[in-house]
Amino acid sequence: MDNKETITREASTNEVQVKHFRQILLWPVYLMPETDGNSLHDRWPDVIDTGPESPWHVVDDEFTGDPRNFQERHYNEFVSFLPPVQRFLYGQRQARQVGSTQSSFGESPIRVLRRRDVSHAAVTLAGQSDAIRFSIAHIDLYFFFDVDVALLAVEMYAEDLPLKTVQDAMFQLGRAYPAYWEEDGRPGHCPKRVEWLSADGAVLAASDYENREKFLTFVCEHRAPRVAEHWEFLLQPLALHQSGQDGALRYRQLEYYRMPLMAYLAVDKPDRLTSADYVRLALVGGSGDPEKLPIGEGYFDDFKAKHCYDLYRSRTDGRAWPSTTFWSCGHSFILTGDAGSDFFCDVERGYLARFRHQHFVMFMIAHFHRAALQMFSDELAGAMSRLDVREAAAVASFRRKTRAELEAFLRFTHRYWFQEISDQAQIHDLFAMIRRHLGIDRAYEAIRRETQDMSDYLENEVMRRQNESVVRLTVVTAFGLVGSVATGFLGMNLFDLTHVGGWTKLFVFVVVFVPIALLTSYTIKKSRRLSDFLDAIADESLDLTGKWQAFRRIW
């Protein structure tokens, strides 16, 4: 990989074996509020059953349990991040109310649910007849206080797989729905079948990628893609927003149909991997000829600089450092290393532990940022689409929605926004690489400008309404001045009513009050035209004809 000549390196006659393959799929979804401005997800403990009979249970962090059970890998994860990120991930208080819907100062705004019914996954890849049995490490659902985003994380692993099988599994597994179907009805780029299995081997849910008519009908009726059944199952009791199914919470897709993924490959003799193998892993492009690049040679010239991080590759300092390489295209994070290295495979202190903890947190934060910004973009676009300046109710609703979004974005910025999460060189550089490929900073600036534009619009709207009110008051005052001066000049004694009875005084008051009120209301109604008439009178460049026409325009 150090020189371009490695492109044509002769592949080994023996197929490369992956001794340990671990993959984490991360699927961000947009939680739909029940009503306008009501963030239902902040009440998820009230609507998602986490009792003994439920497949979900609340995951409390490791800091609230018995200190004797606190593992070194948890300590290593904690100290890898900067203090603001530590407070975001873990909070500052030792005792946290499990399942709390509120995130007060000092508490982490993250709440996690974990499924306990799915134990394995049986995956039959396209072009293969035998199923691969993956063990499920975790299936977690992450909620973030005050943000309408949830992240589904599925961690699975298998042992002793050919590299070709691993590449195809990475390429096919994380598909929310098919992109197309072959002429014979096979779903394009999808597994032939995926089954979620319980501990006793019972099938809990299975994929239905091959049901072409079901996907086509759903898109035709709802103008939204349908989610494959096995993925729908994992999110229950969440329900797809357009599906019409009953669900405690409703969600809508935010991402491309391919889910972001992380992959850990402990390879037997990693020096046998070719440049083409690495490119396919980095881009999650499936298997192929190890001697032929899947991209053009011109693009490959700077591919490594953009997508590869190999600070610790071939390092020797008396410690068992593996030949470790990191790859990322934003959508993916791939870690490859030597299966013969104890440090690379160590689940407590080595790279496997870092992959499952520090690297996962790093990848999750980056994709949470991306999903939250996509959510804000969708919310702002929805608010603008519902604005109708001709309807007062629509304008008032737009004003409330915009202010709510401005407030939510401000809280997101101060609570969740991190451009740097660690001073450790590896975490710092990898996080910057992922953010760069995802374009997170550009997206943030775009949303910030949009929210600022909407804020400016509201400010200008308030100023316009105030100016119009001032104009009306000025016109009424100007025309009321005539009557005020006249009655004041006459001393307000045109009629002597001091000796008449109370009912007569009331009658006279009503007779005077009603015409004046009507005249004032009529003046306010014509205030804009009267204002134009006053401007015409003050305009010395207008002759009498122009001023007369301005007077006629009042009526």
pLDDT tens digit sequence for 374-428: 999 988 888 888 877 777 787 778 888 888 888 889 989 998 999 999 999 999 9
Alpha-helical regions (H) of 301-341: 303-307
Contacts 24+ apart (CB under 8 A), 529-532: 529/553, 529/554, 530/475, 530/479, 530/554, 531/471, 531/474, 531/475
The better pLDDT of the pair 248, 241 is held by 241
Checking if the pLDDT of 454 tops 90, the result is no
**Which one-letter DSSP state was computed for residue 350?**
S
Residue 169's nearest CA partner among 181, 185, 151, 157 is 157
Q: What is the pLDDT of residue 443?
A: 94
Mean pLDDT computed over 425-435: 94
Q: Quick one: pLDDT band at residue 305, thresholds 50, 70, 90? A: confident
Mean pLDDT computed over 228-244: 89
Q: Is 252 helix (H, G, I), strand (E, B) or coil?
A: strand
Q: What is the pLDDT of residue 291?
A: 87
Checking if the pLDDT of 1 tops 90, the result is no
Paired residues of 144 in beta bridges: 110, 147
Q: What does the mean pLDDT of the chain come to?
A: 82
The better pLDDT of the pair 18, 239 is held by 18
The better pLDDT of the pair 289, 74 is held by 289
Mean pLDDT computed over 115-122: 95
Measure CA 500 to chain center. 76
Q: What is the pLDDT of residue 413?
A: 92
Checking if the pLDDT of 154 tops 60, the result is yes
Structure tokens at 342: 């104890």
The better pLDDT of the pair 186, 398 is held by 186
Cα–Cα distance, 445 to 458 (Å, whole number): 20
Q: Quick one: pLDDT band at residue 92, thresholds 50, 70, 90? A: confident
Checking if the pLDDT of 280 tops 90, the result is yes
